[in-house]
Amino acid sequence: MKILKLAAVGALLSMASLCQASMIITDGNVALGVNDLGNLNVSGGNADVTGITGVGLRYISDGVEYEATYHGCECEGWGVAANGSSGYANESRGTSGLSLVSFNSTATTATSVTSMGGLLQITHAFALATATDNLYQVTVTIENTSGVDIANLLYRRNFDWDTSPTPFSEFVTIAGTAGASAVLGANDNGFCSSNPLASCSPQLGFSGDFTAAGPNDIGANFDFDFGALLARETFTFNIFYGGAANRDAALAALSQVGAEVYSFGWSGLDADQNGFADASGAITPTYIFGFSGVGGVVVVDPNDPNDPTPVPAPASLLLFGSGILALFARRKRYAKL
């Protein structure tokens, strides 16, 4: 099935530029609109089930497209901070402190390389996940390009869930943060700045791990502290974007790629998250936003509950284990903001 769908989009390869300001990439199951700085939300795609043509994160089922983040606030973004400086990119909440090194793309991949002053170089490499066709994997590599050691490498990724077919009315779940040593904090506010040095308080009061907040117009914000990064060293972790027919299928996809922390967004019409509106039976996908390499435990596949195994903390955290206790203390303070 995956080979057939890749063949269907293969004809687009010749039209994909090697150097563009943005690109809509797809494998026929999931589509992402990727800007040159590595954040999502790009205009000019196909009309989704609601008629919107902008693309952020989309799930595609039998040729019908379901958009999850372009409606309303184009708030998906990311940011890094180190030694008191930060850089971030977000179409609606502002972009600052980053310069573009390169942006290369094909019909199914995109790679953004940016620089934050002379301190960091950040690469976001978007490609199809090898274990499942429900997810795109973003390999994030952050290099300390300076001659100065970094005590705490911070990273934020956030967006406002706006889930078709009912944008502005969705349920949101965040899970896995309690057992992930690199998670500094997480909450339901998708409208925050992507600057990791800016405060971000919960929108409806939901922070840390929570299930089915809503229905309301809410999102997901994740803050990470990856610990020390020595001069000229690199740190790598993964982000996952995608969609599935329902909750169980979404959990299975995350399990297949070894994700540890995640957020789900889905229509406010589907309280039991089975993939169909409770009253009308309309299709209501579960949209996926996840992470691995953040010191957590692999997500449980509901169809194979004996599969998951603990994942060790990232290498930088193992080298600087004394910082872990401080992370838990900061997480408690974050929840009180």
pLDDT digits (tens, 9 = 90+) for 192-234: 999 999 999 999 999 999 999 999 999 999 999 999 999 999 9
Which residue bears the tokens 């930060």?
86
**What is the side-by-side order of every strand in the sheet holding 219-225?**
85-90, 77-82, 154-160, 219-225, 183-187
Which residue bears the tokens 């990470």?
224
Query: What is the per-residue pLDDT for 304?
Result: 83
Task: Write the pLDDT tens digit of every residue in 122-164.
Answer: 999 999 999 999 999 999 999 999 999 999 999 999 999 999 9
Range 193-225 burial, b when 16+ CB lie within 10 A, else e: bbbbeeebebbeebbbbbeebbbbbbbbbbbbb
- C-alpha–C-alpha distance, residues 168 and 166, integer Å: 6
Please give the residue that has the higher pLDDT: either 333 or 178.
178
**What share of the chain has pLDDT > 70, as a percent?**
84
Task: Reply yes or no on whether the pLDDT at 61 is more than 50.
Answer: yes
Task: Write the pLDDT tens digit of every residue in 19-41.
Answer: 468 999 999 999 999 999 999 99
Task: Reply yes or no on whether the pLDDT at 310 is more than 50.
Answer: no
**What share of the chain has pLDDT > 90, as a percent?**
83
Query: What is the per-residue pLDDT for 208?
Result: 98
CB 26 within 8 A of CB 108: yes
Taken in order of first residue, the domains within the chain and their CATH numbers are 2-335 (2.70.98)
